[in-house]
A and B are shown apart, each in its own frame.
Chain A
């Protein structure tokens, strides 16, 4: 076999592993969310299945799978069945461009197959990675809209309508906030944005340089992921579940999974773009003076840091969910168009002007 084919196979296996691990983390996150929400309301949360309720998510998954898989008679069958998968697939595919660590691991297999195999800590490192993040991330709303529309049910349709309006609106401040980061770092490549943040001993986190962009991104991401207080697409007490009303069994489970993976995805994007990715301040400097065997552990360390940061961001989402009540729809829209977008644009303008003036003063033009 030629090197290219082996490399391709390795990448495909890596892709499958990453997708499965993310689904595994999702079951864990689900439990963490329920437990934390419980603690915030002074309950324990699920603690009956297995030690500390660790098997609760598995029990729920088994329940979902064993339920009767039924399609209501009045739905548009093809789209109805397709929608949950589409929602989940788009949420999962965003993880393709997220760098989980710094170093590419080289498997020295020259003696065996004649060439080395490279294990990159990302699936793809495309030069328009940020664009890909935003584009695929927003495709997730398609699943929800199609699901709500094909259900042929008033509540579902209302949920879908709200979703489309909300997602389209919040896409704008989200994009503009990321744009100011792109202007600053001068690259659309995700790995380079993370690399940029390792400057000044890893202290150049974009959240310190662009706090306004970070806040706008974070709020818009909450809305994009349909998380409280922006969970208008579901609103179980007004729309009895919104777009999910007509779904049951595994298809419902997939929608739920898509929602959580969507939120996880925005957490990882936040960490990658704003919170330094896999890096910690002074980590690389400390690693450089360490002996070689410890340096070889860097990818594991980076991965751990990345997962830890993402979890921390997710916990803040849970905290917000426990604290802030749901917005009204007109408030949601007014907030986006009257506040977030103008502030994001002003921030972009200020960033550009700041950069231009600095470049002028330093004589870089």
Chain B
């Protein structure tokens, strides 16, 4: 009985507290990112679609060694190399990637390809809009992956939350 009386006194206070909290959240306003209208915000280490990088002079970094394909646990990367010639020089090395396909339906975005790459040519970038109407369209060709192809609808966040997470992971 005493407990129940105690509860009867505290319960309205608890309800008032709960309503105060929701009111506070109400006044702080929405945090929703209105994606198609506003750019989406991703964190710097967010792993999205791959990008094939270039050197500053415009040459492709990829030398067609297919180490990424070997490292890939789902075997979603297919590389076919060709010889560079003096007339048609694509990359600084001997060879370049003639075909570089990634099947985005198989890719698990683990980033092993980027780790295996000796020239840091393939990197997981931030694009996540990978929906297609046809499943064969999900096999991205070299032209689709090669830079420059950064989407405008993305903003890379660099705020406190990220910094905090980064310090945790480095410990």
Contacts and interface: CB of A to CB of B under 8 A. Distances in A.
Contacts of A41: 25
A323 B12 CA distance: 13
Contacts of B34: 44
Contact of B22 (A38, A43, A323, A339): A323
Contacts of B171: none
Interface in A9-56: 38-44
A74 interface: no
A323 B18 contact: yes
Contacts of B21: 323
B152 to A, nearest CB: 22
B30 A39 contact: yes
Contacts, number: 35
Nearest to A338: B4
B163 interface: no
A111 to B, nearest CB: 56
A42 B18 contact: no
Contacts of B19: 319-320, 323-324
Contact of B8 (A322, A323, A339): A339
B4 A319 contact: no
Contacts of A322: 22
Interface string A314-330: 00000110111000000
B32 interface: yes
A323 B32 contact: no
A26 to B, nearest CB: 23
B28 interface: yes
A42 B22 contact: no
A41 B28 CA distance: 10
Interface size bracket, B side: 10 to 19
Interface size bracket, A side: 10 to 19
Interface string B21-36: 1110110111110100
B165 interface: no
B26 A324 contact: no
Contact of A42 (B8, B15, B23, B28): B28
A43 B23 contact: no
Given A40-B22, A339-B8, A323 B15 contact: yes
Nearest to B29: A42
Contact of A40 (B4, B25, B31): B25
A324 B30 contact: no
Nearest to B15: A324
Contacts of A43: 30-32
A41 B29 CA distance: 9
Contact of B25 (A42, A320, A338, A339): A42
Contacts of A338: 4
Interface in B24-53: 25-26, 28-32, 34
Nearest to B8: A339
Contacts of A44: 30, 32, 34
Interface of A: 38-44, 319-320, 322-324, 338-339
19 contacts: A39-B29, A39-B30, A40-B22, A40-B25, A42-B25, A42-B31, A42-B32, A43-B30, A43-B32, A44-B30, A319-B22, A320-B19, A323-B15, A323-B18, A323-B19, A324-B15, A324-B18, A324-B19, A339-B8
Given A42-B29, A319-B19, 4 more contacts: A40-B26, A44-B30, A323-B15, A324-B15
**5 nearest CB pairs, A to B:** A323-B18, A323-B22, A323-B19, A40-B22, A322-B22
